[in-house]
Amino acid sequence: MNDFIKFTGPADILAFIPHTLGEAPKESFVAVTMQGNKLGATLRVDAPFGLEPVAFAQTLVSYLTADVAATGTILVIYTDENTAPNQRPYSEHVQALRVELETAGMPLKDAWLVTSELWRNYLCEYTSCCPDKPLDAITTSNGNAAMIYRGSNVTGFTPPAPFTGEAGARETIAAHKPDGWPEDLEASRATWAEVLDNPKTLTTQTAQELAGALQHPTIRDYLMTDIITNAPDQFTSVMLGVFPIRPDWARVDTAQEVAFELMKATPEGQRAPMLCLIGWLEWLKGKSSFAARYFKLALEDVAEYRLAELLAELVNRGLLADCVRDPKKSYDRQLSR
């Protein structure tokens, strides 16, 4: 478990990126910081189509400075953007990034371009020394094999399971929606706490009770923030990701699994709260792309669902939770080796 994986070439690093992001990026800029000869943080942002180069570069570097040990940066551009012959896509943005990274003390060490058909070095224009390479070279790399051996899988986005509950579930869940009295809140929080402590206690009845409780906005807010048990009491701070502690990530994983289970018992039109909960936890883990997709599903389930609209906006503004920026507090997948 304690051995380092040794990467010997760019294909290894290109293989590592989907493992850490959870999926292969598309139309994206990915920056990986270097800490000496070790890889540090991985950052993915949307490709800056139409964005002003310097402002884009400054924004990207402002995220990377969270890695205070960074001594350099590797850049990978995923795009099928067509450019003129002998011209690289987003060349002005890369030049601006080169300047900003140098200023930040984490200079650009190398850069690669990945399209849907091939990959190649971005900085070297000579195909004699840096030829186009097939994508297979990434998937068959030693780096990819080492990640898989450690138990990492590129699982991609996990869509929620369809409703498989009993007929009449919609009415039952609606009947379980509390009126919002304090005793309703405490009862819902107690049930939620019990299920998070021991997910095996989740039955069809408790699933419908919790699904009903989540239909009430204020109770939903409390149940969501109750996942982060060791945070301060101000639940608005917790929802905004502004808290000084390391979340209990095992509890976070459990909460996501329970929410997925609740969705099996919850028909369309009542699933938006669970989708918001799952997306919010993805955001806390630093996976905003997945979070955005859950919020989109929530809005498809219930049009104009306000929490989904607001959280989607939060994610689209590039906001990150405090714990995402701190390696000691950020989410760490449990690999088997």
Partner 1 sequence: MADHFRMTEDDTVAADASPLEDILELSLLTAGPTTGPVDFPLEDHRLVEP
Residues near partner 1, by CB under 8 A = 2-8, 12-13, 16, 19-22, 34, 37-39, 41-46, 59, 63, 66-67, 147, 150, 152, 216-218, 220-221, 235-236, 239-240, 285-289, 291-292, 306-307, 310-311, 313-320, 324-327, 330-333
Nearer to partner 1, 46 or 261 (CB): 46
Q: Is residue 315 classed as helix, strand or coil in its secondary structure?
A: helix
Nearer to partner 1, 202 or 214 (CB): 214
Q: How far is the CB of 48 from partner 1 (least distance, A)?
A: 9
d(CA 160, CA 296) in angstroms, rounded, equals 12
Report in angstroms how near the CB of residue 308 gets to partner 1 at its nearest: 10
Q: Are 219 and 213 in contact (CB under 8 A)?
A: yes
Q: Can you tell me whether residue 77 is helix, strand or coil?
A: strand
Q: Could you give the C-alpha distances from 19 to 9, 82, 158, in angstroms and in order? A: 16, 27, 15
Q: How far apart are the C-alpha atoms of 266 and 211, rounded to whole Å?
A: 7
204-214 and 272-284 are packed helices; what angle lies between their axes, rounded to 10 degrees? Answer: 80
CB of 87 vs partner 1, minimal distance in Å: 24
Nearer to partner 1, 26 or 198 (CB): 26
- Token readout for 91 is 């060349």
Q: Which of 235/260 has CB closer to partner 1?
A: 235
Nearest distance, CB of residue 138 and partner 1, angstroms: 15
Q: How far is the CB of 64 from partner 1 (least distance, A)?
A: 9
How is residue 61 annotated by DSSP? H
Given the complex with partner 1, which of 38 and 199 has the nearer CB atom?
38
Among residues 94 and 315, whose Cβ is nearest to partner 1? 315
Gap between the Cα atoms of 59 and 321, Å rounded: 16
Residue 29 CB, shortest distance to partner 1, in Å, is 10
Nearer to partner 1, 89 or 286 (CB): 286
Residue that is written with structure tokens 């896509």 in the block: 89
The full DSSP string for 139-171 is: HTSHHHHHHHHTT-------PPPPP---TTHHH
Q: At its nearest, how many Å lie between partner 1 and the CB of residue 328? A: 9
**Torsion sign over Cα 189, 190, 193, 194:** negative
Q: Are 329 and 323 in contact (CB under 8 A)?
A: yes
Tokens of 63: 């995220």
Angstrom distance (rounded) from CA 314 to CA 240? 9
CB 243 to partner 1: min, Å: 14
Cross-strand pairs, 95: none
Min. distance of Cβ 291 from partner 1 in angstroms? 7
Coil, strand or helix: which one is 244?
Answer: coil
Closer residue to partner 1, CB minimum distance, 7 or 165: 7
Q: Which C-beta is closer to partner 1: that of 40 or that of 165?
A: 40
CB 32 within 8 A of CB 73: yes
